[in-house]
Amino acid sequence: MSGRMPRQSFGDIQSFISCGVTLPDPLVSVKIRETCRIAHAHGHNWVWINTCCIDKSSSAELSEAINSMFEWYPKAEPPISTQPTLPSAGASGSFAGGWTLQELIAPRYLIFLASNWALLGTKSAFADLVEEISGVDIEVLTFTRDVTKVSVARRMSWAAKRQITRLEDDAHSLMGTFDVHMSTIYGEGRAAFRRLQEEILKHTNDHTQFA
């Protein structure tokens, strides 16, 4: 979603509940209200939003969520990307976010919504454009090629210019793409990426990541 919208946390939502604040209240962010509205309109009783459904005060819960996201996304019915209008190729914005990479790759079925929450279309319909913007091979986006069959160097290239807010998330956001799991340690800085490389080497003989 656009960076102009407030990102309300798990703690914020808990505070709203304790104070009797309900979903229609303007204190609740537009992102949360509209996501819930659209999910309900599609017959879903539950919705998961990564910015406010993870208790980040619990290191165990945070680590489990980060390690599981790539497996969770394909199971959603269907995943919805609150992505603003698709930009032209090479444009910056939400598509450049580090976490967006796995959100584009993992789900088989992904819906894009415009900034006014109108339906734009599906990932398969926009596959050519998404490939052009993100660099991710269209075969991976459309599930005609398994992401694990793509060279390590190629997968690394998809993340090369992506933006992150926490240094460690440069590694954390790539774990699913490389089918590895590791503990999340905020505060270790660049060491997280080194640990990611070590985990990748444990699972493959492909050393192209060092090219």
Query: What is the pLDDT at residue 20?
Result: 94
Helix and strand counts by DSSP (H, E) for the chain: 9, 3
Report the side by side order of strands in the sheet with 111-113: 80-81, 111-113, 119-122
Longest dimension (CA), the chain: 55
Give domain limits for the chain.
54-210
d(CA 180, CA 197) in angstroms, rounded, equals: 10
- Output the pLDDT for position 184: 96
Position 89 scores a pLDDT of 41
pLDDT tens string, the chain, 211 residues long: the values are: 334 456 899 999 999 999 999 999 999 999 899 999 988 888 888 889 988 999 999 999 999 999 999 999 988 876 666 554 554 443 445 678 889 999 999 999 888 888 888 888 889 999 999 999 999 999 999 999 999 999 999 999 999 888 899 999 999 999 999 999 999 999 999 999 999 999 999 988 887 766 6
DSSP at 196: H
For the stretch 172-198, what's the b/e string if a residue is b when 16 or more beta carbons lie within 10 angstroms of its beta carbon? bbbbbbbebebebeeeeeeebbebbbe
pLDDT at 78: 66
**What's the pLDDT at 90?**
39
CB atoms within 10 A of CB 70: 22
Reference 186, options 63, 67, 55; nearest CA is: 63
3-class state of residue 126 by DSSP: coil
- For residue 108, give both structure tokens: 């088989």
